[in-house]
Amino acid sequence: MIPQTSINKLNYTCHHQEDESYVIHMLTSSPRSFLTNAYLIETAHAVVAVDTFMIVPDALALRELLHSTGKPLIAIIITHGHPDHYNGTATLMADFKDVPVISTQGITDCIRDSIDAKEVKWKPFFGDEWPSEKILPNQWVNNGETLCLDGLDYYFKDLGAAESSSDLCFTLGMNKSVVFVGDVVFNQMHGFMNDGHSQQWLVVLKQLAGELKDVKTLFTGHGLPGNPAELISTQIEYVGVYQNEVAKLAKGNNGLSQEQKNELDGNMCKAYPHYQLAEFIKAGADSVANELALS
Ligand SMILES: [Zn+2]
């Protein structure tokens, strides 16, 4: 049963994995907090959370959903070090204070290095909704490591730099029919290009395209779940189009003028007219121009 108090401000969907008897609960935040997805993976006796949202009301909705399962939280997995995916950890685990917060060393370093700057940028916008207490990952997994959580295998792959400076993905169960990729793949949304690793992002996407070809469903950090091959090839195309549009305007310079950013915005909105998160287009322009100028 889904409680209707705070969750009803977020979009909820439920994905039953009949082959190995687990359920993926998916919550999506509003556009104001970037249409971010967080997940609860419910098995026979327990729940594992994947990412924890950015602001307190969203994290409270996730906690309410957790309580509605009637099962204990046994772990939180953080897919990468952007605050819309880790900021709500303390709120979510308020009643389960000893659960491990699982991620990689690279992601933990990324959070530690950027957490103050993110707060300076976003707290004025969100005010009291910005969490005061932050909990960083405290259990690290290595590339290729498998953890069994309540009878379900989580097979982790440390992708290194891609969409962010360090990204994690994992498949689930013996059948590996499901994969979580954080923000390495968006679905029907503009990508977040600010971290300036777009070349390496393409390398990682092309690797994943081969490795995930037998996986049935890809769950992303932003957008609906879908077929891995289709979503990955669309993301590869998107990053390439963005790079090309920036390169045409930058002409080798390491940044774009405001006028050029407006032109980039128009060109990307024309190329992807139905995509959400258009505010990401201009925000990432200088990072990608700088990256291309150095390459
Ligand atoms: Zn995100």
**DSSP label at 95?**
T
pTM comes to 0.95
Task: Find the 261 Cα to ligand 1 centroid distance in Å.
Answer: 22
Task: Find the 283 Cα to ligand 1 centroid distance in Å.
Answer: 14
pLDDT in tens, the chain (295 residues): 344 444 557 999 999 998 889 999 999 999 999 999 999 999 999 999 999 999 999 999 999 999 999 999 999 999 999 999 999 999 999 999 999 999 999 999 999 999 999 999 999 999 999 999 999 999 999 999 999 999 999 999 999 999 999 999 999 999 999 999 999 999 999 999 999 999 999 999 999 999 998 999 999 999 999 999 999 999 999 999 999 999 999 999 999 999 999 999 999 999 999 999 999 999 999 999 999 999 8
Looking at residue 192, its pLDDT comes to: 96
At 98, which amino acid appears?
D
Looking at residue 98, its pLDDT comes to: 95
Task: Find the 105 Cα to ligand 1 centroid distance in Å.
Answer: 19
Q: What is the domain-level CATH number for residue 148?
A: 3.60.15.30
Task: Find the 79 Cα to ligand 1 centroid distance in Å.
Answer: 9
Task: Find the 219 Cα to ligand 1 centroid distance in Å.
Answer: 13
Task: Find the 250 Cα to ligand 1 centroid distance in Å.
Answer: 26
Task: Find the 188 Cα to ligand 1 centroid distance in Å.
Answer: 13
Looking at residue 28, its pLDDT comes to: 97
Range of the domain at 88: 7-184
The number of C-alpha atoms within 13 Å of 164 and in the hemisphere containing its C-beta is 26
Task: Find the 221 Cα to ligand 1 centroid distance in Å.
Answer: 6
Q: What is the rounded CA–CA span in Å between residue 245 and residue 238? A: 11
End-to-end CA distance of the chain: 52
Q: What is the rounded CA–CA span in Å between residue 132 and residue 167? A: 25
The residues, ordered by sequence, that sit 6+ positions from 52 with a Cβ below 8 Å of its Cβ are 38, 59, 62, 76, 78, 85, 86, 87, 88, 89, 91, 92
At 254, which amino acid appears?
N
Task: Find the 248 Cα to ligand 1 centroid distance in Å.
Answer: 27
Q: How many domains does the chain have?
A: 1
Task: Find the 289 Cα to ligand 1 centroid distance in Å.
Answer: 21
Task: Find the 208 Cα to ligand 1 centroid distance in Å.
Answer: 19
Residue 221 dihedral angles phi and psi, to the nearest 5°: -75, -25
Task: Find the 84 Cα to ligand 1 centroid distance in Å.
Answer: 5
Task: Find the 36 Cα to ligand 1 centroid distance in Å.
Answer: 6
Does residue 256 lie in a domain region?
Answer: no
Bridge partners of 189, per DSSP, are: 276
Q: What is the rounded CA–CA span in Å between residue 45 and residue 150? A: 7
> For residue 1, which of 64, 74, 76, 72 has the smallest C-alpha distance?
64
Task: Find the 85 Cα to ligand 1 centroid distance in Å.
Answer: 6
Does residue 30 lie in a domain region?
Answer: yes
Task: Find the 186 Cα to ligand 1 centroid distance in Å.
Answer: 9
Does residue 235 lie in a domain region?
Answer: no
Does residue 60 lie in a domain region?
Answer: yes
Task: Find the 139 Cα to ligand 1 centroid distance in Å.
Answer: 21
Task: Find the 60 Cα to ligand 1 centroid distance in Å.
Answer: 18
